[in-house]
Structure 1
Amino acid sequence: MPAIYGPSERAALMVLMLANREVPNTELANQHKIKLSPDGRDRLNRDGLLRTRTETRPYVHQITEEGISWCVQDLVEGEPPSRSGPLARAYAELLRRIVRYHQQRGTLVEAIRSGDLESLIRAVYLDLSVKPQDWVRLAKLRPRLNGADKDEVDKVLLGMIKTGKVHLAPDSNRKVLTDADHAAAIRIGSEDKHLLAIEES
């Protein structure tokens, strides 16, 4: 059995594993409704499951490899919160079986992190942008996508622009384009796009 933590600590670890990046404390609270107490945060850091950067405000958290291993073990062996109803317990058993299936085939990490590339792109864009709907260079964005394959990123970007709230554009000043800009560009039709802008949802 994995070590026992409270629902907030368990939820924080799961969200951080899915995010696969540093996550500000405010994002945990505002987007995921997770209130990670100082005691819970310190225990997770002390146990080596979490790294928290406290020199910044807000604090920033990132799960460790030990934390990911704990999450996987918790998905297989952990119990739903004590006050969970029958539906939550049925979901937990279904999830347990899916996790075991992927564990046996060595595809668990891929399965857990599939579909989160768009979220990572949006998070990195927000970090790089100076103002809402700012243009961000793909050459700055791509290196921060945890080594995601260029073709995979291009596929996600092409899907994102179909929403009408994500935009790709060429840099009209060709003289400022670097080798990195050319390498990071995405070709649409007969034109290379170097810049990304995302409207606020």
Structure 2
Amino acid sequence: MPKGNYSNAARAALMALMLANRDVANTELTNDHKIRLGPADREALNDAGLLKTAMDTKPYVHRITDDGIDWCMNDLVYGEPPSNSGPLARMSAELLRRLVRHLQRRGTLANAIRSGDLELFIRAVYFDLAVKPQEWIRLARIRPMLDGEDKSDVDKALLKMMKEGKAYLAPDSNRKVLTEADHEAAVSVGGEDKHLIAIEES
């Protein structure tokens, strides 16, 4: 069993935060995922270092830690099904357990969890680097933080974000400062290499 005896709500909150891979407001957990993370659960997860909660804002904002992600990975394999769960839930949990073990052995678990959420991953990395809204950030700084995501997949996600007005891509007009990493990280749009990105806040 994973270390820590947490409630179903606490376990669900950690899973939701891991999948989101970004700051999540407490109201979003409640409204979008029907997860009510009460004070006792919140304090227990923060005390254990699995969760960081910003309590200087209303509503509170949560972010899972690296230890929290490790806990989730362990819970997926060794955790018991939710209390009072029926036979279908127990069999689903067993199927998930076997799939997780298989993906762990192949080293592809992290990518499988993030599949379909590459845009969220890019946004999370961008806002970790940006110090002000819509700041221009070099793609050469962002790509190394995407845990080896395929360049073509990242390019497609970036172009989709640009077309939807969620992100802006631009070339660096000072060609003399461009490094080899800048050239390798660039996205080609209409035959022009773009080296910088700025992203709209949600």
TM-score (norm 2): 0.69
The 5-angstrom pairing of residues 17-56 of structure 1 reads 17-56=18-57
Please state how far the C-alpha of 1:168 moved relative to its aligned partner: 6.2
- Identify which range, 78-87 or 166-175, moves more after superposition: 166-175
Match status 1:89 vs 2:87: no
Please state how far the C-alpha of 1:44 moved relative to its aligned partner: 0.9
Cα distance change, pair 173–96 in 1 and its aligned pair in 2 (3 A): closer
Do 2:9 and 2:37's aligned partners in 1 also have CA atoms closer than 8 Å?
yes
The 5-angstrom pairing of residues 165-176 of structure 1 reads 165-166=164-165
TM-score (norm 1): 0.69
Cα distance change, pair 26–121 in 1 and its aligned pair in 2 (3 A): farther
Secondary structure of 2:82's counterpart equals coil
Partner of 2:105: 104
**Structure 2 counterpart of 1:4, which letter?**
N
Do 1:120 and 1:145's aligned partners in 2 also have CA atoms closer than 8 Å?
no
Please state how far the C-alpha of 1:49 moved relative to its aligned partner: 1.7
CA distance in 2, matches of 1:151, 1:68: 19
Task: Choose the corresponding residue for 1:155, options 150, 153, 156.
Answer: 153
Q: What is the number of equivalent residue pairs in this alignment?
A: 194
The share of aligned pairs that are identical, in percent, is 49
The 5-angstrom pairing of residues 94-133 of structure 1 reads 94-122=95-123
Deviations 1:93-120 (A, max 9, x none): 1110011223334443343334432123
Cα distance change, pair 138–30 in 1 and its aligned pair in 2 (3 A): farther
- Identify which range, 103-112 or 40-49, moves more after superposition: 103-112
Secondary structure of 2:112's counterpart equals helix
Cα distance change, pair 58–109 in 1 and its aligned pair in 2 (3 A): same
Which stretches in structure 1 are left out of the alignment for 5+ residues?
none
Cα distance change, pair 58–124 in 1 and its aligned pair in 2 (3 A): farther
Cα distance change, pair 157–25 in 1 and its aligned pair in 2 (3 A): farther
CA distance in 2, matches of 1:150, 1:97: 25
Please state how far the C-alpha of 1:9 moved relative to its aligned partner: 0.5
CA distance in 1, matches of 2:170, 2:32: 33
Deviations 1:73-128 (A, max 9, x none): 21112222233333322221111001122333444334333443212335678998
Please state how far the C-alpha of 1:5 moved relative to its aligned partner: 1.5
